[in-house]
């Protein structure tokens, strides 16, 4: 069975934008392909320490994984969750691949250039990030890696490093699919972008300071109602789905459709031409408040121990696969 691999950052509390734009699509992808693919969901904790960690890292990891479970991720014999640092082969393969990757190609990586620009000093982890990522992918012979567009360059470099290694040492690595195939697989053109409630021309982001601009996954129903009822709309006075001229109203229609799991066309047909923005806001408030209440209830039922048990199982599986590939690599370069 081929493998799909995705890394989920162990973040702080997430927004409704993260939920609808990243969490749910990933959960649906995992549940859709389980049976056809192995689906590896890992927390890239070694990648995270290239910068300062906010808050309690271990707690954040468990909370993020609980979000995925509460959103419906079904961990089973084909869907595995694990922490990168609990599978030592990642760091070891990274070292071996460091001896194949070149300074020149790493210096050309956009993420490295952006993160190091203007800094007097920059840690080696930031520079070496793509090689560790290549190890994450190649250890499991992953074909598809659903990630943000900013990471495509790192998938391309993974292909280059693997190809160069294979050329020198024999056919050890399976190359991940090319960028164009990754895009097709992820259906990126359909990517969802939930807007900021106060400035709907921007995307909803957890780093925005104004609390009313974003719905957080731990918001109470009262907070949800207050935020949605005060969302910015427009002076057109008639409801139409038109992201350019009526981004606030269109954002609410989009949220209503996604949260109630109905096609956007059905929701827009229901509201198109109506004039009461207040009624639409009330409806969306209720839909979101209800969804979050149910989500939070499911979240409460998942204990730390539940997650740790799943992680331990996932890490046993990951270590088996990764260690077998690492041994192949070690033999190929002459270490074993
Ligand atoms: P970030 O919160 O920027 O670290 O993003 C984490 C994930 O959530 C990424 O896959 C983003 O594309 C996704 N995401 C963040 N904000 C939104 C949003 N407002 N709408 C849709 N997806 C989002």
DSSP codes joined into one string, 132-178: HHHHHHHTTTEEE----GGGHHHHHHHHHHHHHHHHHH-S-PPPPPP
| Token digits of residue 294 | 């149910």
Percent of the chain with pLDDT over 70: 99
85 shares a domain with 152: yes
**19 and 57 belong to one structural domain:** yes
Q: According to the model, what pLDDT value does residue 188 have?
A: 65
Give the whole-angstrom CA distance, residue 148 versus residue 183.
10
Burial of 283 (0-12, 13-18, 19+ CB in 10 A): middle
Q: Each residue of 108-119: b (16+ CB within 10 Å) or e? A: ebeebeebeeee
Does 202 sit in the ligand 1 pocket, CB within 6 Å?
no
Q: Identify whether residues 92 and 169 lie together within a single domain.
A: yes
Tens of pLDDT, residue by residue over 146-195, are 887 888 999 999 999 999 999 999 999 999 999 999 989 887 667 789 99
Do residue 177 and residue 226 come from a single domain? no
Distance CA(147)–CA(299), nearest Å, equals 25
Q: Token digits for 33?
A: 């392909």
From CA 74, how far away is CA 198, in angstroms rounded?
35
Residue 68 lies in a domain: yes
User: Domain range spanning residue 247?
Assistant: 211-299
Q: Are residues 79 and 224 in the same domain?
A: no
The pLDDT-based confidence of 9 (bands split at 50, 70, 90) is: confident
19-71 confidence digits (pLDDT tens): 999 899 899 999 989 889 999 999 999 999 998 877 788 899 999 999 999 99
User: What ranges in 142-276 are assigned the alpha helix state H?
Assistant: 152-169, 179-186, 221-229, 247-259, 264-271
Q: Which residues pair with 43 in a beta bridge?
A: 83
pLDDT of 125 above 90: yes
| Same domain for 216 and 172 | no
Looking at ligand 1, which residue's alpha carbon is closest to its atom 6? 18
Domain with residue 12: its CATH number is 3.40.50.620
Rounded-to-integer distance, Cα 50 and Cα 116, Å: 12
**Residue among 203, 226, 282, 290 flagged as catalytic:** 203
The mean pLDDT value for 134-150 works out to 93
With a cut of 90, say whether residue 256 has pLDDT above it: yes
CB 8 within 8 A of CB 146: no
pLDDT of 234 strictly over 80? yes
In CATH, what number is assigned to the domain containing residue 264? Answer: 1.10.240.10
Q: Is 49 within the bounds of a domain? A: yes
Mean pLDDT, the chain, rounded, equals 95
Report the alpha-carbon distance of residue 205 to residue 195 in Å, rounded: 8
Q: Where are any strands of DSSP class E within the chain? A: 2-7, 37-43, 79-83, 142-144
pTM: 0.90
Q: Which atom of ligand 1 is nearest to the CA of 147?
A: 10
| DSSP character at residue 320 | H
Determine, yes or no, domain membership for 195. no
255, part of any domain: yes
Q: Are strands 37-43 and 79-83 parallel, antiparallel or unpaired?
A: parallel
157: number of Cβ within 10 Å: 19
Judge whether 203 lies within some domain: no
> What is the number of the ligand 1 atom nearest to the C-alpha of 204?
19
Q: Is 2 in the pocket of ligand 1 (CB under 6 A)?
A: no
Q: Exposure of 161 by Cβ count < 10 A (0-12 exposed, 13-18 middle, 19+ buried)? A: buried
Residue closest via CA to ligand 1's atom 17 equals: 17
Q: How many domains does the chain fold into?
A: 2
- 296 Cα to the center of ligand 1, angstroms: 20
Q: Which residue in 230, 25, 34, 63 sits closest to 146, CA to CA?
A: 25
Q: Is the pLDDT of residue 295 over 70?
A: yes
- Angle (CA) 18-310-42 rounded to 5° is 45
Calculate how far, in angstroms, residue 99's C-alpha sits from the geometric centre of ligand 1: 34
Is position 288 within any domain? yes
* Cβ proximity of 191 and 149 under 8 Å: no
Same domain, 313 and 292: no
Residue 193 lies in a domain: no
Instruction: Give the mean model confidence (pLDDT) for residues 303-329.
Output: 98
DSSP 244: T
* Whether 45 and 139 share a structural domain: yes
**Shared domain check, 322 and 225:** no
Whether residue 196 lies inside any domain: the answer is no
Say what the pLDDT of residue 242 is: 96
Claim to verify: residue 68 and residue 124 sit in the same structural domain: yes
One domain for residues 60 and 92 = yes
pLDDT of residue 189: 64
Shared domain check, 273 and 314:
no
Provide the 8-state DSSP code for 221. H
For residue 148, the model assigns a pLDDT of 79
């Amino acid at each position: 069975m081929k493998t799909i691999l995705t890394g989920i950052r162990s973040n702080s509390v997430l927004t409704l934008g993260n939920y609808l734009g990243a969490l749910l699509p990933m959960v649906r992808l995992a549940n859709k392909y389980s049976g056809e693919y192995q689906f590896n969901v890992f927390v890239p904790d070694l990648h995270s320490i290239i910068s300062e960690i906010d808050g309690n890292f271990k707690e954040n990891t468990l909370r993020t994984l609980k979000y995925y479970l509460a959103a419906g991720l079904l961990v089973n014999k084909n869907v595995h969750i694990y922490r990168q640092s609990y599978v030592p082969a990642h760091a070891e393969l990274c070292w071996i691949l460091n001896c194949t990757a070149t300074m020149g190609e790493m210096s050309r990586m956009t993420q490295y250039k952006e993160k190091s620009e203007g800094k007097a000093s920059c840690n080696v982890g930031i520079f070496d990030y793509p090689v560790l990522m290549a190890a994450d992918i190649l250890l499991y012979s992953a074909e598809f890696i659903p990630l943000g567009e900013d990471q495509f360059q790192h998938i391309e470099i993974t292909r280059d490093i693997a190809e160069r290694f294979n050329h020198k040492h024999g056919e050890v690595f399976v190359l991940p699919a090319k960028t164009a195939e990754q895009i097709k697989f992820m259906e990126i053109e359909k990517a969802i972008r939930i807007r900021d409630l106060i400035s709907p021309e921007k995307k909803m982001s957890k780093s925005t300071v104004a609390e009313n601009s974003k719905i957080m996954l731990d918001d109470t129903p009262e907070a949800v109602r207050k935020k949605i009822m005060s969302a910015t709309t427009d002076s057109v006075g008639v409801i139409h789905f038109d992201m350019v001229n009526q981004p606030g109203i269109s954002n609410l229609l989009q949220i209503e459709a996604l949260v109630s799991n109905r096609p956007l066309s059905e929701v827009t047909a229901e509201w198109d031409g109506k004039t009461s923005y207040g009624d639409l806001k009330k409806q969306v408030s209720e839909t979101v408040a209800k969804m979050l209440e149910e989500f939070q209830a499911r979240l409460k039922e998942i204990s730390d121990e539940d997650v740790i048990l799943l992680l331990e199982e996932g890490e046993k599986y990951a270590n088996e696969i990764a260690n077998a590939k690492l041994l192949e690599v070690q033999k190929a370069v002459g270490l074993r």
